[in-house]
């Protein structure tokens, strides 16, 4: 269409509307930054009949390259090119529709110093996962907020309990004392849903902190406090789905923004269909387009405007909140091509950043498929450096309960480790014993404290990035089949009127203190032991219900030896481990601090782990 004709038509359409029929409600991202590597920015503009206006930008350093309209007159997508000469400050966007002129001031901020070089979480750090609604309630005044449909009810296991950002910031010293170096916090963005709003995965606004947790500014302050205490923060993000109550779902920009069906259609949750060479189109389609749950609509990232929206949203949070990492929810459920494009965009802006994908699959080969650097048969590269080590998790929650076997019991770890060749980078695996979706590890291990200690020791000494679920340090219990509320219970003492405060040593039980002290000791030791962060790994075939591995480098060596026999003391012949021990003369027992002189053998008491740092 020639420009003149377009102008005449636009004026004609605009004139046919009365001025009050045109509104500007929001523009997202709400601001941007100057000096980003990617010169392109797409603004989603929303408001009644806004597409019937003509947007104009006359600002040095900005070119309005393209104006995109959809079938819905309430949306405009503005494609901008940002040039080097663009300065921080306001630019004016003018929307003209007939008589009506709407002016909007859009702000470009200056970036933080060193923003592009920010360093993501890594295997030198112990991560702690907490659920903000269930950790601590630092401000009871925000438990119920105007406009938020679900009200707090601590008696409802599936309800909101009132935990918030203030509650987290009140307890940073507790986490620091435990030795924690990074926090993964379940989603904090708005979930304005009538029920189940506490878990955070049914988002109603991608740019706004849920007011029952605090404001965006409170979230930024929390991250600043974490940084001041030497802790990183990982933001939990969801691209696969959002709430049916999200504002853009209630007024879809276009029909193909989401996957729609005549009748409710659920995903088959068989993530392997996304790469299985034999998968039927039917199964793969159902996996990717089916909804996660009745109240979570499935987003279609094949829609380019939506893909751009999600990518920019992630970059906005990194830059705005000063993030150290992102956890990608339900990684295999989004189109893998989209996630790869997302990863590329993130790492183009922040080459030293880190991202962990929730690759919830049961087999090593399946998880490996989703990690960056894995040599996949179809050439797929996720551009996501870290993935969740679910095979190790399944071994951790069962091996110590089982009798010795060729494949079962302690041998499980031998086979999980032995498949590390599949991964792009085993050191980037997130190693965990439980999380907010799974049985709590102490319950998985049938409340056996000795088994729990062995599981924690493995998690903190194997390759990868260990992640502790809140309350594990106090042996919190819960089984997923009883309901999610049972594995996401309130941290005792997080609420003002709790009968006891387990953040304080004096108010913990003897058993809780024993668990806390054990983890505390192991984590503190791990924090200073570089061979555990980046050393090589070598293991020996399990024998007589024992399993031994070494973490080693040119100058350091640590031995981790498990005895899973319930009653029998085991002596390990030192000569067998000669290839690892040669330059060393003695060792320090990491737990007891005692020296160990190993002439012939190492002895391990029943149902325990021996961790030895070797010395020359
Ligand atoms: Ca609160």
270: exposed, middle or buried (Cβ count in 10 Å: 0-12, 13-18, 19+): middle
C-alpha 199 – ligand 1 centre gap (Å): 14
pLDDT in tens, 408-433: 999 999 999 999 999 999 999 999 99
DSSP state string for 80-138: EEE-TTPPSEEEEEEEEETTEEEEEEEEEEPPPTTGGGPPPP-TTS-EEEE-HHHH--S
Task: Specify the pLDDT at position 601.
Answer: 85
C-alpha 245 – ligand 1 centre gap (Å): 22
Task: Specify the pLDDT at position 598.
Answer: 75
pLDDT in tens, 322-340: 999 999 999 999 999 999 9
598 vs 296 pLDDT, higher one: 296
Q: Return phi, psi of residue 426, to 5°.
A: -60, -25
Task: Specify the pLDDT at position 17.
Answer: 60
Q: Return phi, psi of residue 340, to 5°.
A: -65, -40
Q: 54 by DSSP, 3-state: which? A: strand
Lowest mean pLDDT among 185-194, 225-234, 260-269: 260-269
C-alpha 211 – ligand 1 centre gap (Å): 9
Task: Specify the pLDDT at position 16.
Answer: 56
Q: How many CA atoms lie within 13 A of 139 on its CB side?
A: 16
Task: Specify the pLDDT at position 279.
Answer: 96
Lowest mean pLDDT among 6-20, 286-300, 321-335, 523-537: 6-20
- 533 vs 119: CA distance, rounded Å: 16
Spatial neighbors of 428 by CB under 8 A, at least 6 apart, are: 122, 123, 354, 371, 385, 386, 387, 464, 465
- 318 vs 348: CA distance, rounded Å: 13
Q: How many CA atoms lie within 13 A of 446 on its CB side?
A: 6
Give the alpha-carbon dihedral of 570, 573, 574, 577, to 10 degrees: -100
DSSP state string for 483-545: -HHHHSPPPTT-STT-S--TTSGGGS-HHHHHHHHHHHHHHHHHHH-HHHHH-EEEEEEEETT
Task: Specify the pLDDT at position 546.
Answer: 97
**Domain annotation for the chain: domains and CATH numbers:** 3-111 (2.60.40.10), 536-615 (2.60.40.1180)
Residue 394 predicted with pLDDT over 80: yes
Tokens of 458: 């493995």
Q: Please compute the mean of the pLDDT values over residues 375-397 and round it to a whole number.
A: 97
Which residues are catalytic, by number? Answer: 329, 358
Give the alpha-carbon dihedral of 307, 312, 318, 319, to 10 degrees: 170
pTM of the model: 0.95
296: enclosing H helix or E strand: strand 296-298
pLDDT in tens, 2-35: 544 444 444 444 455 666 799 999 999 999 999 9
Neighbouring CB atoms inside 10 A of 477's CB total 16
C-alpha 152 – ligand 1 centre gap (Å): 9
C-alpha 160 – ligand 1 centre gap (Å): 9
Mean pLDDT over each residue of the chain, to the nearest integer = 95
Task: Specify the pLDDT at position 19.
Answer: 65
C-alpha 144 – ligand 1 centre gap (Å): 8
- 145 vs 392: CA distance, rounded Å: 41
Task: Specify the pLDDT at position 8.
Answer: 47
pLDDT in tens, 486-503: 999 999 999 999 999 999
- 557 vs 332: CA distance, rounded Å: 37
Helices (H), 419-473: 441-444, 449-461
Q: Please compute the mean of the pLDDT values over residues 235-262 and round it to a whole number.
A: 97
Task: Specify the pLDDT at position 599.
Answer: 72
C-alpha 443 – ligand 1 centre gap (Å): 29
- 32 vs 41: CA distance, rounded Å: 8
C-alpha 317 – ligand 1 centre gap (Å): 23
DSSP state string for 155-178: T-TTSB----HHHHHHTHHHHHHH
C-alpha 548 – ligand 1 centre gap (Å): 46
């Amino acid at each position: 269409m020639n420009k003149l004709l377009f102008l005449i038509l636009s004026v004609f359409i605009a004139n046919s509307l009365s001025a009050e029929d045109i509104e500007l409600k929001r523009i997202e991202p709400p601001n941007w930054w100057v000096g980003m590597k990617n010169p392109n920015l797409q603004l989603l503009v929303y408001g009644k009949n806004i597409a019937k206006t003509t947007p104009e930008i006359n600002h040095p350093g900005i070119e309005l390259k393209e104006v995109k309209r959809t079938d819905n007159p309430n949306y405009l997508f503005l494609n901008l090119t940002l040039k080097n000469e663009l300065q921080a400050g306001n630019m004016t966007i003018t929307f003209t529709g007939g008589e009506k002129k709407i002016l909007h001031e859009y702000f470009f901020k200056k970036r933080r110093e060193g923003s592009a070089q920010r360093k993501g979480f890594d295997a030198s750090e112990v991560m702690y996962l907490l659920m903000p609604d269930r950790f601590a309630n630092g401000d009871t005044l925000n438990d119920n907020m105007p406009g938020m449909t679900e009200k707090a009810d601590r008696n409802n296991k599936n309800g909101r309990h009132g935990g918030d950002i203030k509650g987290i910031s009140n307890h940073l010293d507790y986490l620091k004392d435990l030795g924690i170096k990074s926090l993964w916090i379940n989603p904090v963005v708005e979930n304005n849903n009538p029920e189940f709003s506490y878990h955070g995965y049914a988002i109603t606004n991608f740019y706004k902190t849920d007011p029952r947790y605090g404001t965006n500014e409170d979230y930024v302050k929390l991250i600043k406090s974490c940084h001041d205490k030497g802790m990183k923060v990982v933001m939990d993000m969801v691209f696969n789905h959002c709430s049916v109550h999200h504002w853009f779902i209630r007024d879809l920009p276009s029909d193909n923004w989401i996957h729609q069906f005549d009748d409710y259609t659920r995903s088959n949750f068989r993530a392997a269909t996304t790469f299985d060479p034999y998968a039927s189109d039917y199964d793969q389609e159902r996996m990717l387009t089916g909804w996660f749950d009745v109240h979570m609509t499935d987003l279609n990232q094949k829609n380019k405007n939506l893909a751009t929206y999600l990518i920019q949203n992630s970059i906005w949070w990194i830059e705005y909140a000063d993030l150290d990492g992102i956890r990608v929810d339900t990684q295999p459920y989004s189109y893998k091509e989209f996630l790869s494009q997302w990863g590329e965009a993130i790492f183009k802006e922040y080459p030293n950043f880190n991202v962990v994908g929730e690759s919830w699959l049961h087999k090593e080969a399946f998880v490996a498929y989703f990690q960056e650097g894995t040599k996949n048969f179809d050439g797929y590269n996720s551009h996501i450096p870290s993935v969740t080590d679910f095979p190790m998790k399944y071994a951790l929650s069962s091996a110590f309960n089982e009798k010795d076997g060729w494949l079962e019991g302690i041998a499980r770890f031998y086979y999980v480790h032995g498949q590390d060749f599949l991964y792009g980078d085993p050191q980037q695996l997130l190693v965990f014993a439980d999380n907010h979706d799974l049985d709590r590890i102490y319950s998985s291990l049938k409340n056996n404290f000795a088994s729990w200690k062995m599981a924690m020791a493995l998690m903190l000494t194997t390759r990868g990035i260990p992640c502790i679920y809140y309350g594990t340090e106090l042996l919190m219990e819960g089984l997923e089949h009883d309901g999610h509320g049972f594995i996401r219970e309130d941290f005792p003492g997080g609420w003002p009127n709790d009968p006891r405060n387990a953040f304080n040593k004096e108010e913990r039980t003897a058993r809780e203190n024993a668990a806390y002290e054990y983890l505390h000791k192991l984590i503190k030791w791990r924090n200073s032991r570089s061979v555990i962060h980046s050393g090589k790994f070598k293991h020996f075939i399990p024998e007589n219900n024992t399993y031994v591995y070494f973490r080693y480098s040119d100058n350091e060596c640590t031995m981790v030896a498990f005895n899973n026999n319930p009653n029998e003391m085991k002596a390990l012949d030192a000569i067998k481990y000669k290839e690892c021990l040669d330059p060393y003369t003695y060792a320090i027992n990491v737990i007891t601090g005692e020296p160990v002189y190993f002439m012939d053998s190492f002895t391990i008491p029943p149902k325990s782990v021996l961790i030895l740092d070797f010395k020359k």
